[in-house]
Structure 1
Amino acid sequence: MSPRKSDSRERMLHSTMILLREYGASATTMDRVLAHSGAPRGSVYHHFPRGRTQLMEEAVTLGGGLMTGMIETLAQADDPVRAVDDFFAHWRSQVADSGFRAGCAIVAVAVETNDDAPQLARTAGQAFARWQQAFTTLLTRHGLPEERSRRLAALIVAAEEGAVVLCRAQESTLPMEDAAAEIHELLVHALADRPETRADTGP
C-alpha cells in the first residue's frame, strides 16, 4: 500500500531528521529527502513554502523536542543519576544500532556554517538550551544549587554530544561508556555533597 499523501509532511520531516543524523546538513538535499520519504515532489512547497531551509528548521525543532520530552520523562524518576545514566544509554544504543552511521541531527546543523540561513544554527542552539534546562530542573529538584545544576547540565549535554562524535569516528561505543561513567561518578559526588546530605551524615 502506498503512503497517504496527507502523511507526506510528517514523512518528510522524519526523513530529514534521519538524513541529517547520517549525512549532515549539506548532504541533506531535497532530492534525497524526497527519495527517502517517498513524498511527491509537488508537496515540497505546499508543505514548506520556504523550501529546504524551512524543512530543516522544522526537522531540527521536532527532533530537539522529541529528545526534550524523553529527558523530561527520565527526569520524573526519583534517582537523578539513573536518569542521566539512561540518557547516555539511549545515545549508546542509537549510535550502535545504526552501525555507527547516525549521529545527532542538531549537531549536524549546528556545526555547519550557513550564512544564507543563520536561523538554523539558532534553532539548534534553542534545542540544546531546552535539553540543558531539563537537566538543570532535574538537578535543582534534587537539591543542587541552581548555578551548579546549570553547569552540570551543560557538561552532560556536551559530554554526550562529544561522545557521539567519537563513537562514530572510532566505530566503538567505548567513548560513550567512558563519558557516562565519569558523569555518573561526578553526579554521585555532587549529590552526596549537598548541604542537607552532609547534615544527615553528621560530623
Structure 2
Amino acid sequence: MGTDSRERMVRSAAYLFRERGFSGTGFRDVITHSGAPRGSIYHHFPGGKVQLAEEAVRYAGEFLNSGIQAAVEGGDAASAVDAFVGWWRQVLIKSEFRAGCPVVAVTVESHEEAPQLATAAAAAFDRWQDTLATGLGNAGVPDERANRLATLIVAAVEGATIMCRAKRDVQPLDEVVFELKEMARAAATDR
C-alpha cells in the first residue's frame, strides 16, 4: 500500500469529481477507477472522503498551475491566458462536455462541516491567480492591474467552462478567451 496507490487514488478522485462532482463520487468509484487495492483507501485516507477531496483539489490545483507557470515564462500577456485555457478546452472536447473543473465541483458542493474543502479550493484559485498575475507583470502589466486581470481570467474561464458544458460547445470559452487576450495585450501596452 505505497504512495503510488495513494497518488493514483488522488488523481482518480480529481478526475471523477470533474464529471460526477463531490457528492456523485464514492470511495468505490475511486477504487475502481484507480485500480488500487480495496482496503487501501481507508488506510491512506483515515479522514474519509473529505480528506481525499481536499488532496484531490490540491493535486488538481498544482497540476494546472504547473502548466500556467511554464507558459507564462515567455513574457507574453496573451500566452498567460492561453496557458490557463488550453487545458480546459482539451478537457471539454475530450470528455464530450461531461468534465469540468474538479476544484469548482468541490467548491460548489463544500459543506459547513468540511470547511477545509473550501479552503483548499480557495488556495488553488489564489495560486492560479498569483501565477497569472506574475506572468502578466513580467509581460509589462502594472502589478495592481495584473492582479485584477488575473482574477478576471480565472473567474471568466471557469464560468465559460460551465457554459460550454451546458451548451456542449466550446464557443463560450473561445469568445471569452478572445476578449481576455485583447485585454491582456492592451494592459501590457498601457504602461
SS in 2 for 1:100: coil
| TM-score for the superposition, normalised by structure 1 | 0.89
- Matched with 2:173 is 176
Task: Name the CA distance, whole Å, in 2 between partners of 1:132 and 1:58.
Answer: 20
Task: Name the CA distance, whole Å, in 2 between partners of 1:145 and 1:70.
Answer: 23
Query: Does residue 87 in structure 1 map to residue 81 in structure 2?
Result: no
CA contact (8 A) 2:5 2:36 kept: yes
Query: Does residue 77 in structure 1 map to residue 74 in structure 2?
Result: yes
Match of 1:31 among 10, 16, 28: 28
| TM-score for the superposition, normalised by structure 2 | 0.94
Match of 1:48 among 29, 40, 45: 45
- Matched with 1:21 is 18
Q: Match of 1:31, as an amino acid?
A: R
Task: Name the CA distance, whole Å, in 2 between partners of 1:191 and 1:11.
Answer: 41
- After superposition, where does 1:59-138 map in structure 2 within 5 Å? 59-138=56-135
Unaligned runs of at least 5 residues, structure 1: 195-203
Task: Name the CA distance, whole Å, in 1 between partners of 2:83 and 2:124.
Answer: 19
- Matched with 1:151 is 148
Task: Name the CA distance, whole Å, in 2 between partners of 1:132 and 1:11.
Answer: 27
Q: Match of 2:62, as an amino acid?
A: G
- Matched with 1:193 is 190
Task: Name the CA distance, whole Å, in 2 between partners of 1:66 and 1:170.
Answer: 26
Identity rate, percent: 48
Q: Deviations over 1:23-59 (max 9, x none)?
A: 0111111111112112122111211121211111111
Task: Name the CA distance, whole Å, in 2 between partners of 1:83 and 1:126.
Answer: 19
Task: Name the CA distance, whole Å, in 2 between partners of 1:15 and 1:191.
Answer: 39
CA contact (8 A) 2:71 2:83 kept: yes
Q: Match of 1:160, as an amino acid?
A: V
- Matched with 1:198 is none
- Matched with 1:201 is none
Q: Match of 2:132, as an amino acid?
A: F
Unaligned runs of at least 5 residues, structure 2: none
Task: Name the CA distance, whole Å, in 1 between partners of 2:187 and 2:77.
Answer: 11
SS in 2 for 1:160: helix
Output the aligned Cα RMSD.
1.3
Task: Name the CA distance, whole Å, in 2 between partners of 1:131 and 1:76.
Answer: 14
Task: Name the CA distance, whole Å, in 1 between partners of 2:168 and 2:156.
Answer: 17
- Matched with 2:157 is 160
